[in-house]
Structure 1
Amino acid sequence: MLLPRIATLITGLSLCAMAQAAPTAYPLTIDNCGSTLTFQHAPTRTVTIGQAGTEMLYAMGLSDKVVGTSLWFNNVLTKYKAQDDKIQRLADNEPSFESVIGKRPELVAVELEWMVGPQGAVGTREQFHELKIPTYLLPSDCEAKDNLVGADGTRLAPFRIETIYKSVSQLAQIFDVQERGQQLNDELKASLARSIATAQGKQLKDASALVWFSSAQMDIEPFVAGHKGIPDFMLSTLGVRNVVESDEEWPTVGWETIAKANPTFLVIARMDRRRFPADDYEKKLAFLRSDPVTRNMDAVKHNRIIILDAMAMQASLRMFDGIEQLATAINGYDLSQ
C-alpha cells in the first residue's frame, strides 16, 4: 500500500525536523564497510572517486574541501557547475592511484567498491590507509552486497534507501556540517513522498519495466538493472515490476528473453561518458526501433520509453529526481493500448 508508505515518510520528516544536530566531537571514529575510520579534524582536502559522493559534498556546501574529482557518468548539475569548474578533474573514469595521492587528500570518498576495494581499479583501501589516507565508501555499494561476484557485484538483499541517507549523515558528521546534512535528507525524503503520491493513482498492478544502462556493443546482450538493485528499488517504489530476476547489479540479458517478457515500459540511460557505443542514448533508441526483435515490443510500438540520466540510476541525490521523472512519465501514459 502506497498511502501508509507516504505517511511513514512524512512522520520520519517530522521527527528529523524536531531533532537538533549536535556538533562533531573529534576525534571522530566511524565504522565504514568493514573499516574503522578515525578523523582528528574535519578534512580540508578531499578527492572523490564517483559522481554520487561529489554531488553530495557539493549539495552540503563543501566544494571548497574538494581538490579532485573522477568517475563521471553525466555532466555536473548546472547548479554546481561554478563550484565544479574550480576543481581539478583527475579522470572522467577511474583515476590512477598516483593522481589521487598526489592531491595529498585527507579523505577519499568512493562511490563504488570496484574502484577502491579488494580488487580496486584504482587501488585497495589498505594501500590508501597505509599512507594514512582514510577512504569512505558509500554504504549503498557495500551493505548487503558482494562485489566479488558478477561484473558489478551481486545484491544479497534488496537495496535500501536508508543507505543514501546514511551516506549524507556520515559525510555531514565527518565535515561537521550536520545541520546541512539533516536538511538535505529531509528534502530527499519529501521528494520521495511526492513521487510516490504522483504514481499512486495509476493502476500499475500488472505493469513491468526493463532498465537498459548500456552495452559493450550494440549487437550483443545489454547491461540491464538487476532484481535487487537501485533501479529495481525505484520501480518497485512506484508499483512497477522489474522483468529481470538476476540479483547481479547490472547483468547481461539477451534481447529475445527481454522481448518475451514484453515489459510495459523501457527505461534507458542517458550519459555523457562514451566508454561503450550504447552510452549514447540516441543509439539505444535507434536500435530499439530498428532491430527485428525489439521493434515489436509493446513498449517500443507505443513509445513507452523513458530516458533518465545514468546518475539517476545510481545511489545518488539524482536518484530522487529520477524517481520523480519516472512517476511523472508513467502517470502520463495511456496503458489501455
Structure 2
Amino acid sequence: MSDKQRLNQILETAAARRIAGDHAGAAQILAGVADDPGVSALGPLTSLGLPRRLQAALLKLAKAEGDALRRSGYQFHLVPPPDQLAHFAQVTLEERRALNAANRQPVPHLLHQIWIGDLPLPPSCAAWADHARAQGYEYRLWREADLAQLDLPDSFARMLERGDYPGAVDVARYAILARQGGLYLDCDWYPARDDIGFHDLLPMMGLTALGEDIPRNTGIGGLLLANSLIAVPAAHPALLRLNSVLGEVMSAIPGAPAWWSTGPLIFTLIARAGAVSLAGSGMVVGSLPQGAPFSDVQALRDAPGGTGLLIAWKSW
C-alpha cells in the first residue's frame, strides 16, 4: 500500500471520529498524520506549510468544534504559498496599460454557459435562455460537441483526463470569453427575476466578477474573486494570459485542486493585475442547499422587494 493510500485511510478514520462527535480522538489521529514520515503524499503544501488534504481535515474539525479562530486561520491559508504563483501574474507597464485600456471597452450582451458530462442538463439553462431573450441578450450553451470545435488549451484535455469537469469548464470559459467576450455564468445560478438584466446591475465595461465571502492568502490581499460570474469584453488581456499559462500552473502545483490551478485563485491573481469591477453585494438574492426543491427557488423569485438577480442553486 502506498503512503497516499495508507494516509487517506487514516484521514477517513479521523473523519468518522469527527462525525461521531469524538473531536479529541480525531485531533489525536490528525496530529499523528502531521508527524508521519510519508505525510508529503497528501498533496501540495499550503501557505501554512501543511499538506492541503491534512489542512482541509483540520479545517473540518475546527468547524465541528465551533472554533472560529482556527477555522478562519485554516480557511485563509488553504492556498499555496503566494510566491509559488505570483510570477504568473507579473505584468510590465505596457501590459498594465493594455489591461486598463481593455477595462474601458463594453461587454457584449452575450450570455454563455457550459455543460459537459453525463448528467442531465439542469433547469437553470432553460431559465437563463428565457431570461436572455427577455433582456435582448444572445444566449449560448456550450456542450462537448461545441467545445470540440474550438482550439482549447491543452489544460482542457488534461482536466478531462483527470475526470475533473469543473476544472475543464474553468479552462473553457476563459477561452470562450477571450474569443467572444460577454458574460459567463455557472449553471448553479438561477435567475431571480426576468424584469431586470445584468446591464441594470453591472457596469458592463471591462472585467467584472463576484467577490468570494471567505478571504484567502493570495499575496495581494485577502479578496478572492469567484469565476462563476465573469463579464468581460473580447480579447481582454487577463483572459488571454489565463489561456496561455494554465498548463504551466497545473505543472507548477501537481495534485492541486482545480480552484487553485484553473479556478478562482489563478483567476484572481491574473485579473487583479489590472482593475476589476466587483458585482454589488445585493447581486445574489439567496443560496439554497444542494438539491433543494424548485418550490424553494420559486419562493425566492416571488419574494417582494428584491433587487438582485442570482439564486445559488445546485439542482443536481
Q: Would you say same fold, with TM above 0.5?
A: no
TM-score (norm 1): 0.24
> Which structure is higher in strand share?
1
TM-score (norm 2): 0.25
Which structure would you say has the larger RCO, counting Cα contacts within 8 Å and 6 or more residues apart?
2
